[in-house]
Each structure stands twice: as C-alpha cells, then as structure tokens.
Structure 1
Amino acid sequence: MGLLELKAYLKSNTNYTKPLLSSWVYDQKSECCNWERVKCNDTTGYVIKLWLSNINHETHIYADNENWFLNESLLQPFKELRILDLSRNGIRGWQGNKATIYCRFKYII
C-alpha cells in the first residue's frame, strides 16, 4: 500500500485535474512492479527506484502551495529504494528525519 499512499499524498498537494499515475491502482490483479515509473528488484520484488519527475507534465503545478515539503515517512515502506527522482515537482524539502533519507539513498534528484 505504500505506493498508493504516496500517490494520494502527491495528488493532495496539486491542483492538477488529469489522472495522476493512472497505473497505480488498488487491484488484486495489478502488480506494482509493472506500474509506470516504478522499478523493482528482479529477485526480491521490492521497489528499488521511483522516477516521479514532473509527474503532472506541468511546469509549476504546486504554485498555490509555495512551502510544499515531502513527508519522509511516506518512503519508510520502501526499504530497498535507492534511487528517487522527484525533480520538477515544486518540492521545497523534507518533513521528518532527513538523516534517514540521505543515508539510505544512492541518488535523490
């Protein structure tokens, strides 16, 4: 459920009206490793990369909320996540334990 919680959080911080991450749905037949912008470890099946750059294909979708910060607790379920691309989304920083974020990832963009 971690990806769906992340999607809901991202959607709650935008005024964009088109579908956001449309393949990310709660469905027993849906495998999250096949969802758009998600890469999983072939052996473990755990999420290792999320590329969420410009998820709404807009230049500045978060204009109404100039102090938008991503809550690091949303990333806790992803123990093997090493690459995270959140560029071009208007995120200003992190809420929570920044040390956890910076020590865990190979790349944060």
Structure 2
Amino acid sequence: MNFALSSLNGMFTKITHTNITDEEAEELLDAAVIQAADEIRTYARQARATEKHLQSIRQANTAEQEATGKANRDYLEQERVAGLRRQEELCAAEAKNGPRRGGTWN
C-alpha cells in the first residue's frame, strides 16, 4: 500500500513541478488515483487470502493438537489400567505366597 501512496505522491509532485494544463493535471491525477485504488484492492485481496490460509493452518493445528491430546490421554489411561492390573497381580501373588522379600517369593 505504501507503493500506491508513493505513486500518488510522485504524481502530485510531477504535476506541481511541470508546466501542464489543468486538464492534463486532472487526467494524470485521475489515472494515478485509479492505479492506487487498483493496487490497494490487490493488497486487500492478498491480505484476505493470507488470512484465510492462516486460519486453515490454525484449524489444522488445533485439530492436530486435539488428536494428540486424545492419543496422550488414551495412552495414559491404558498405562493406568495396566498399572492397576499389575498391582492386582502382585496383591494376588502376595495373598497366595506371602509378602515378597528381596524381590522374590520364598
């Protein structure tokens, strides 16, 4: 957008520092304004496209984070259940064989 404004500024400088008729100056200014407006529209379209692209990336990242979080929660739940089973097995073995001593049952 700075380019569009500098184009207008350059055109204004050209008009004020050259000997042209008022009609020619008006035509030049009209053309410069149209060109600047076109450039601004182009920048606005690019900005909207970039924002849409960034939004889709954010959505994909959010979905990935949610999936990863669910996978982590599922894994932790599986580990918790496995730990409970091991604890139950140890309790059952101790009930059957007595308490462990030195890492083995006597």
TM-score (structure 1 length as normaliser)? 0.25
Larger radius of gyration: 2
- Select the structure with the greater relative contact order (CA < 8 A; seq sep ≥ 6): 1
TM-score (structure 2 length as normaliser)? 0.26
- Which structure carries more helix by proportion? 2
